[in-house]
Amino acid sequence: MVFSSMLFVFLFLPANMLSQILLPSPRAKNVAMLIFSLVFYGWAGPRYLVLLLGMVLICWLGAMFIEDAPEGRRKLWLAVTVTLCLVILGVFKYLGFLLRNVQWLFGVPKVIPQIVLPIGISFYTFQLISYVADVYRGEVQAQRKYWMLLLYASLFHQCIAGPIVRYKDVNGDILARRTSPEEVSAGVSRFAIGLAKKAVLANGCAVVADQLLLSDAQALAAVPAMGILLGTAAFTMQIYLDFSAYSDMAIGMGLMCGLHYRENFDHPYMSGSVTEFWRRWHISLSSFFRDYVYIPLGGSRCGRGRQLFNLLAVWFLTGMWHGASWNFILWGLYFGVLLALERFVLGPDRQERLPRVLRHGGVLVLVMFSWILFKFTDMALLGTAVRGLFGLNGNGFSSAAVTLLFKNNIYFLAVACVACTPLGGTLRTMLRNLGRKNGLVYWLDAAWEVVHPALLLVLAAMALVGDSYNPFLYFQF
Whether residue 475 is contained in a domain is answered as no
Do 264 and 247 share a structural domain?
yes
Selection from 294, 264, 291, 293 nearest residue 279 by Cα: 264
Whether residue 292 is contained in a domain is answered as no
Selection from 110, 157, 375 nearest residue 253 by Cα: 157
Boundary (domain end) residue, out of 151, 178, 205: 178
pLDDT tens digits, one per residue of 162-209: 799 999 999 999 988 888 888 999 999 999 999 999 999 999 999 999
Whether residue 304 is contained in a domain is answered as no
Whether residue 105 is contained in a domain is answered as yes
Exposed e or buried b for every residue in 387-413, given b needs 16+ CB within 10 A? bbbeeebebeeebeebeebbeebeebb
CB 293 within 8 A of CB 314: yes
Do 154 and 56 share a structural domain?
yes
Whether residue 54 is contained in a domain is answered as yes
Do 434 and 368 share a structural domain?
yes
Q: CB count, 10 Å around CB of 292?
A: 16
Do 21 and 62 share a structural domain?
yes
Whether residue 152 is contained in a domain is answered as yes
Do 435 and 321 share a structural domain?
yes
Domain that holds residue 84: 6-178
Distance of CA 355 to the CA centre of its chain: 31
Could you give the number of structural domains in the chain?
Answer: 2
Whether residue 295 is contained in a domain is answered as no
Boundary (domain end) residue, out of 155, 178, 201: 178
Whether residue 21 is contained in a domain is answered as yes
Amino acid at 303: G
Do 400 and 266 share a structural domain?
yes
Do 205 and 115 share a structural domain?
no
What is the full per-residue pLDDT of the chain (477 aa) written as tens digits?
788 888 999 999 999 999 999 998 899 999 999 999 999 998 877 888 999 999 999 999 999 999 999 988 999 999 999 999 999 999 999 999 999 999 999 988 988 888 888 888 999 999 999 999 999 999 999 999 999 999 999 999 988 887 999 999 999 999 888 888 889 999 999 999 999 999 999 999 999 999 999 999 999 999 999 999 999 999 999 999 999 999 999 999 999 999 999 999 999 999 999 999 999 999 999 999 999 999 999 988 888 899 999 999 999 999 999 999 999 999 999 999 999 999 988 877 777 778 888 889 999 999 999 999 999 999 999 999 999 999 999 899 999 999 999 999 999 999 999 999 999 888 888 888 888 888 888 888 888 888 999 999 999 988 888 656 677 676 666
Active site residues: 322
Do 128 and 18 share a structural domain?
yes
Q: Which residues contact 238 (CB under 8 A, 6 or more apart)?
A: 202, 205, 206, 209
Do 215 and 160 share a structural domain?
no
Do 233 and 196 share a structural domain?
yes
Helix 181-196 vs helix 439-466: crossing angle, to nearest 10? 50
What sign does the CA torsion over 338, 343, 347, 352 have? positive
Do 276 and 337 share a structural domain?
yes
29 CB-contact burial (10 Å; exposed 0-12 / middle 13-18 / buried 19+):
buried
pLDDT tens digits, one per residue of 200-234: 999 999 999 999 999 999 999 999 999 999 999 99
Do 104 and 63 share a structural domain?
yes
* CA atoms of 141 and 225, how far apart (whole Å): 56
Boundary (domain end) residue, out of 148, 178, 208: 178
